[in-house]
Amino acid sequence: MVVGGQGGDGSLTVITLLGKLLAERGFHLYRSRTVRSRIKGGTAAAAMRASVAPRGCIADRVDLAVLFDDDAAAAVHSRLAAGSVVIVDSSFGPPPADAFPADVEVIPVPFGRLAVRELRRELFKSSLAFGLACRLLSVPDPEAERVLEARFRGLGPTAATA
């Protein structure tokens, strides 16, 4: 699994939350992060491998990708295989037709637009992406909500319930 975008997009938060859920379910995790050393900008991406047996590396193939920008899409393109699922932020339009291999399922979602329109802050687009990833991984809503609330509890009741 890979989550990528720009610093401040919440890419690392999404992978952290998903990792917490999967670890609680007994999966072994191996994680990797790539962060440019700029505040609120530059590439930020995280990869995670979850398996029932310990693994000492990230897999060559990406089964699920959550991508907030075109740079992240370009970075993960060569690791997508037949049957991979890509969730892409389509707030600024759909991805180009050749952005992903033909045998990959692409799910365009306007995360940024939805977060601003429904929750009044673009910052929440990572929470929307987390929710969709949970649905694709068959995580029950109450379990996903519990992890989100625990993560954002310190920000006050509005953030935790948004």
- pLDDT (tens digit, 9 = 90+) per residue, 25-73? 999 999 988 887 666 667 889 999 999 998 888 888 999 999 999 889 9
Sequence ranges of the domains in the chain: 5-9+11-161
Residue 99's CB: how many other CB atoms inside 10 A? 16
Q: Alpha-carbon distance 92 to 89, whole Å? A: 8
- 133, pLDDT greater than 80: yes
Question: What are the backbone dihedrals phi and psi of residue 146, each rounded to the nearest 5 degrees, phi first?
Answer: -60, -45
Residue 139's CB: how many other CB atoms inside 10 A? 19
pLDDT tens digits for range 103-128:
999 999 999 899 888 877 877 899 99
Single-letter residue type at 10: G
Q: Per the CATH hierarchy, to which homologous superfamily does domain 5-9+11-161 belong?
A: Pyruvate-ferredoxin oxidoreductase, PFOR, domain III (3.40.920.10)
